[in-house]
Each structure stands twice: as C-alpha cells, then as structure tokens.
A and B are shown apart, each in its own frame.
Chain A
Amino acid sequence: AQSVSQHNHHVILSEAASLELGCNYSYGGTVNLFWYVQYPGQHLQLLLKYFSGDPLVKGIKGFEAEFIKSKFSFNLRKPSVQWSDTAEYFCAVIPTSGTYKYIFGTGTRLKVLA
C-alpha cells in the first residue's frame, strides 16, 4: 500500500539552528510531492511543491526541499529557523496516475525556542 513516512514526530530547535525534516514515500510510479504547514491556530497551508523539473524546490519563508527519486525522499530544509517557524509540518504525496489520492504523513511538530 502507498504510504508516507515522517520519521521525526517532534523536533525542538533553538533559533538560528538548521532544520531538516525527513519524508519518505512508498509508490513505484510518478508522484507530485508537497509540504504543508499548520501554524498554531491556523489552517493548513502549502509550503512548497514539486511536480517536475529541478528537484530542488524553494517555498515560502526560506524553506526548500529536495526530491531524490532514487531514495523516494522529499526532505524539507531551512538553514536558520525562527521562533515563528513553530508549527506542524506535513509531507504529502499524490500519484499522477491511478488512484489520485493524496497521502499525508503523520506530521512533525517543530518547536523553536527563542
């Protein structure tokens, strides 16, 4: 069955530390990949997405993610986190053919200490 794994459930960092959140998926075909973020008290919103082309994609607020097809991974990175990055981050995958179902990871709660 298709699945998305986010291995880090809770991450605590100090401001200015670097961030990398892991995301791995299991699906043999072509997929579109997303990172969504949910700030405290706010809606889920898109952080960045990859459909095709350059596997290094840049999103809002200085976030970027790299798609490594051979590793089925789409890790999220930020060189220097801020207190305002405290949120829950979800990786999501959707096949481009077949089931067309969004599959979300279980999320990673990031807490950034001021």
Chain B
Amino acid sequence: KAGVTQTPRYLIKTRGQQVTLSCSPISGHRSVSWYQQTPGQGLQFLFEYFSETQRNKGNFPGRFSGRQFSNSRSEMNVSTLELGDSALYLCASSLGPTQETQYFGPGTRLLVL
C-alpha cells in the first residue's frame, strides 16, 4: 500500500499570505490528523478529521483551518501567515479513531519570510 503523501513538500511564503497544504491518507484510512512540528516544541496537535467531520481541535488560532473530503483526503489552510508559522506540518492517518496507531507522511516544510 502507498503511504501517506503530502503536497507540496516545501513552500516559501511571505507574511500575510495564505497557504493550503494537502494530505492523502493510506487507502482505507478514514482518520486524518494534522500536526505542527518545530524544534523544541515537538509535535503540536492541530486537528483531526474522521469521515469528513472535525473530531478534535488543538489550541491554535482560527487562522488554521482544515477539511476532509469524501475520499478521506484532507487539506489544511493557514491564512494571514506569520513568521512563527514556519514549521514542518505533518499529516497522519489511521484506520479509525486516533486511539489507534497513526501513520505519518513526510511533511510539508513551510517557511514564512
């Protein structure tokens, strides 16, 4: 089976712009979670989608949003980018609810200038 794929792999944006990141889960997986990874902070949970519904949300401002499509693919959007949004954004999928093992993608590295 193909693993979790994320596009694009690298992005450079300037402050104030918006960005959309995409995640394709492993075939058959219905749960997709998003994380922000920064040095020293580890992985910070952004949100989780299961069957097109947001099940959980982390402590991030409303500039961070997401959605999941009927084929379980997910997108994450960040509006009005700030310098502090520079990070590696990881997507993870699991068969069902996230109590199960998660399988991570390679991440999208976002640099905000």
Using CB atoms and an 8 Å cutoff, list the residues of chain A in contact with chain B.
32, 34, 36, 43-46, 49, 90, 92, 94, 96, 99-107
Minimal beta-carbon separation of B17 from chain A (angstroms): 27
Q: Is the CB of B48 within 8 A of A90?
A: no
Interface size class of B (residues with CB under 8 A): 20 to 34
Which secondary structure characterizes the binding site on chain A? strand
Residues of A within 8 A of B104 (CB): 36, 43-45
B8: Cβ under 8 A from any A Cβ: no
Q: Is the CB of B98 within 8 A of A44?
A: no
Q: Is the CB of B99 within 8 A of A32?
A: yes
List 18 A-B pairs, Cβ < 8 Å.
A43-B104, A46-B102, A90-B43, A92-B43, A99-B56, A100-B97, A101-B48, A101-B56, A101-B98, A102-B43, A102-B98, A102-B102, A103-B45, A104-B35, A104-B44, A104-B45, A105-B42, A106-B41
How many residue pairs at the A-B interface have CB separations less than 8 Å?
Answer: 52
Residues of A within 8 A of B35 (CB): 104
Q: Is the CB of B33 within 8 A of A44?
A: no
CA–CA, A103 and B46, complex, Å: 11
Q: Is the CB of B90 within 8 A of A100?
A: no
CA–CA, A12 and B101, complex, Å: 28
Using CB atoms and an 8 Å cutoff, list the residues of chain B in contact with chain A.
3-4, 33, 35, 40-45, 48, 55-56, 58, 90, 92, 97-99, 101-107
Residues of B within 8 A of A106 (CB): 40-42
Residues of B within 8 A of A103 (CB): 45
**In this complex, what residue of B is CB-closest to A95?**
B99
CA–CA, A107 and B102, complex, Å: 17
Residues of A within 8 A of B55 (CB): 100
Minimal beta-carbon separation of B35 from chain A (angstroms): 8
CA–CA, A105 and B103, complex, Å: 17
Q: Is the CB of B101 within 8 A of A34?
A: yes
Q: Is the CB of B42 within 8 A of A107?
A: yes
- With A90-B43, A102-B33, A104-B43 known to touch, is A43 a contact of B106 (CB < 8 Å)? yes
Q: Is the CB of A46 within 8 A of B101?
A: yes
Q: Is the CB of A101 within 8 A of B45?
A: yes
CA–CA, A114 and B56, complex, Å: 43
